[in-house]
Structure 1
Amino acid sequence: MASLIRHPKDFWTGIIFVCFGLAAVYIGQDYQMGTAGRMGPAYFPTILGTLLALIGAAAVIRGLIRPGEAIGKFHLKNLALVLAAVILFGVLMRGAGLVPAVLAVVLVSAYASPKFSWGPTLLIAAGLAVFSVLVFVKLLGLPLPILGPWLGF
C-alpha cells in the first residue's frame, strides 16, 4: 500500500515549521499589535510566525505531491553537540564575553560535522568573533562585554 506522504523530509519539515509558526502567532496574541509604522511587541512574532507557517504549509503540500527520499538516520550525538553549543554560548556570554562565547559555539557545533577540521574551523571561529564584535558592539552599540569578568576584564 502506497503512503500518502511521498517526500517525508519535506513533509515533516513543513509540519515543524507550521507548529513553530502557529506557536509564535498564538503567543503573540497576548501583546499589543501596533502598526507597520509603530510596531508593538506582537507585530514581529505574528508576522514572522505567519510567514513561517505559510512556508511550512507549502512544504507539507510539496511533501504530499513530489516524490523524494526517506528520512535518514537520526544522529543524536550531533544534535546533542549543537544543543550544547547553544547552551554554552548562553552561559559564556555574560561571564566570559562575546569573543569566547562565539569561539565556543562555533568550535563545539562544528565538531558535530563529519567534515570537521581544526584549521578551517578556527579560521571561521576567529572571523565570526571579529565580525560579531564589529557589528554588535561597534556598529550597533550593544552593551555586550567583548571579554567578560571571568577573564579579568
Structure 2
Amino acid sequence: MKIQSQRDFAAGALFCAFGVAFAWGAATYSVGSGARMGPGYFPLIVGLLIALLGAVITARSLIVHTEDGDPIGAIAWRPLLFIIGANLLFGVLLGGLPALGLPPMGLIVAVYALTLVSSLAGDQFNLKSVLILATVLAVGSYVAFVWALNLQFPVWPTFIVG
C-alpha cells in the first residue's frame, strides 16, 4: 500500500504515538469504572481517543489520493520555539523559580505573558488585539479556576499582595 499523503501519515503516526504514551501513563493511576471513575479514567480515555484519531488519519493518508503526495515541509522553527517558550514562561511565572529567587508572579501576569509571547509566533502582530485577548483569557481563567473551581494558587505577584 502506497502512502498518498506524507503529511497526514506523519501526523497520524504522531497522534498514535502520543495517544498510546498518554494512555499508558494514565494506566499507572487508578482507573476505576464508568460509575466510579478514578484519577486515571479521563486521561486514559483521552489518550485512547487521540490514538484512535491518529489511526483514522493514518488510514486516510493511505486511501485518499493527493496530486503531489502532500510532502512534509520544513520545520517551522520560529512558531515552535515561541509556543514552547510561552508555555515554559507561563509555568515559571505562575509558580516562580525559587532556585533563582524568582517569586510566583501569579495567574494574571502568567496569562498575559503567555498570550504576548505566543502571539509572536505568527506572521502578524497586533498589540491591541493581543491585549484584548489576554484580558479575556485572564478574566476567564480567574473565573474558571479561582472563583468556580476554588483552586488555590497565586493570582497576583507576591510582592503586590504580600
TM-score, normalised by the number of residues in structure 2: 0.85
Counterpart AA for 2:87: V
Matched, 1:120 2:129: yes
Structure 2, gaps ≥5 residues long: 96-103
State the distance in 2 between where 1:150 and 1:108 align: 23
Describe how 1:87-126 pairs up with structure 2 within 5 A: 87-94=88-95, 95-126=104-135
Structure 1, gaps ≥5 residues long: none
Counterpart AA for 2:119: A
How far residue 150 of structure 1 moved from its aligned partner, in angstroms, is 4.4
How far residue 152 of structure 1 moved from its aligned partner, in angstroms, is 4.8
How far residue 40 of structure 1 moved from its aligned partner, in angstroms, is 1.6
Report the counterpart of residue 58 of structure 1 in structure 2. Answer: 56
State the distance in 1 between where 2:12 and 2:26 align: 21
Matched, 1:145 2:154: yes
State the distance in 1 between where 2:62 and 2:76 align: 25
How far residue 103 of structure 1 moved from its aligned partner, in angstroms, is 0.3
Distance change in 2, residues 1:70/1:151 (3 Å): farther
TM-score, normalised by the number of residues in structure 1: 0.90
Matched, 1:129 2:138: yes
How far residue 106 of structure 1 moved from its aligned partner, in angstroms, is 0.6
Q: How many residues align?
A: 151
How far residue 43 of structure 1 moved from its aligned partner, in angstroms, is 1.3
How far residue 28 of structure 1 moved from its aligned partner, in angstroms, is 2.7
Q: Percent identity?
A: 38
Report the counterpart of residue 12 of structure 1 in structure 2. Answer: 10
Contact 1:96 / 1:151 at 8 angstroms: preserved in 2? no
Report the counterpart of residue 85 of structure 1 in structure 2. Answer: 86
State the distance in 2 between where 1:31 and 1:134 align: 29
How far residue 29 of structure 1 moved from its aligned partner, in angstroms, is 2.9
Query: Which of 25, 46, 57 pairs up with 1:48?
Result: 46
